[in-house]
Structure 1
């Protein structure tokens, strides 16, 4: 079947999760952060994801905001910055204002111009996603913003991917699913979506039960992939 809907993961895919630490490091008086911000951003994201998987496996669901805070606390301690409470608050505030990757607005607008439905499917809680979409100014190019809070489990659990069909009334093979997480793109491929992995870092492919159909360096080719899938 032809692709009808393009669905995007949010954090790391549309929105640059490193931008909070990068912006804070550029502020006056942040010399200690400036020396380690890349390590902090990497550890923050890794722990955020790890905590979501562990909670899903253990049946201990919480909001994504909670795992975001927990991941930051681990990262701050790993960098020796746990005593700086003002830095913690600043980083958390900036997470509500994440920058979109440069190609995102034009890519989404092109999809809408070509008649595709568009959506976010994210671990993020609704209020977090509203903040990110508003800050990036891409709300007019999205038909839906779907949060795992409606099903109470994090990706890659099957009920999360079920949300797309429930919202749009589509078959899995009518969906192009796009994620910067290799494991997410792989799991969605195993579910039946056509998938694209945005591998900005040039990482190896995850060894899982399925694999992404497309591997990209950024989101620019998405409209063409959707048109020709």
Structure 2
């Protein structure tokens, strides 16, 4: 089936979720994070994801910004860091996450092919707007879809339904790209073709569906299509 739309997860797929902690560690006064930032970034991300799943299961939705703050507070306490100014700096940096280096050229290539492109993310509209503006990739995106439209986090099927509703295509005409194995599984189960961007070389998740393709980054996406 012809691919009509290429849709991306945002955090960890287009945007580097470790960038906030890494940048704070490199700034003046960031010496206390010099060794701690990788673990802090890992814990922050892990709790951020687990809180979305737990809230979805419990029916206790809040926006992704609240989840992001709660996860950071847990990670800071786990690292033994009590520093309100550092907390505020890390949260500010999360609105300015770096895009992975290959992202601008990859998106531009998709648009030259005439494909529709978009983001489908747990992020709130405001967070996504900030990250897209900071990374300067908005010109290559036709739509930015947030779970806030349905009030539940991925991988709930109602989130994936936003894509065919917006682009007027069948699920099989969508290539969904995510760096999260569980997200790729959810999208594949919904009927999308899926690419799992496995940046860390992890095993495939043992879930109810598997990605169609696996790649270490986004550089080969144009050739895959």
Task: Report the alpha carbon displacement of residue 222 of structure 1 after superposing the two structures with TM.
Answer: 1.3
For residue 104 of structure 1, what is the aligned residue in structure 2? Answer: 103
Q: Secondary structure at the match of 2:91?
A: helix
- Give me the TM-score of the superposition, normalised by structure 1: 0.97
Give the match for residue 202 of structure 2: 203
Q: What does residue range 1-229 of structure 1 map to in structure 2 within 5 Å?
A: 1-81=1-81, 83-226=82-225
What's the CA shift for 1:224?
2.2
Equivalent residue of 1:53, what SS?
Answer: helix
The structural deviation recorded for 1:103 is 0.1
Q: Which runs of 5+ in 2 are unaligned?
A: none
TM-score (structure 2 length as normaliser): 0.99
Instruction: Summarize deviations over 1:3-35 as a string: whole Å, max 9, x none.
Output: 000000000000000000000000111111112
Structure 1 counterpart SS, 2:194: strand
Rounded to whole Å, the distance in 2 between the matches of 1:14 and 1:45 is 15
Cα deviations by residue, 1:153-176 (Å, 9 ceiling, x for unpaired): 000000000000110111000000
Q: Unaligned 5+ residue runs, structure 1?
A: none
Aligned-residue CA RMSD in angstroms?
Answer: 0.6
Following superposition, the deviation at residue 225 of structure 1 comes to 2.0
How many residue pairs match? The answer is 225
Moved over 3 A (4+): none
What are the Cα deviations for residues 51-97 of structure 1, in whole angstroms up to 9, with x where unaligned?
0000000000000000000000000001011x100000000000000
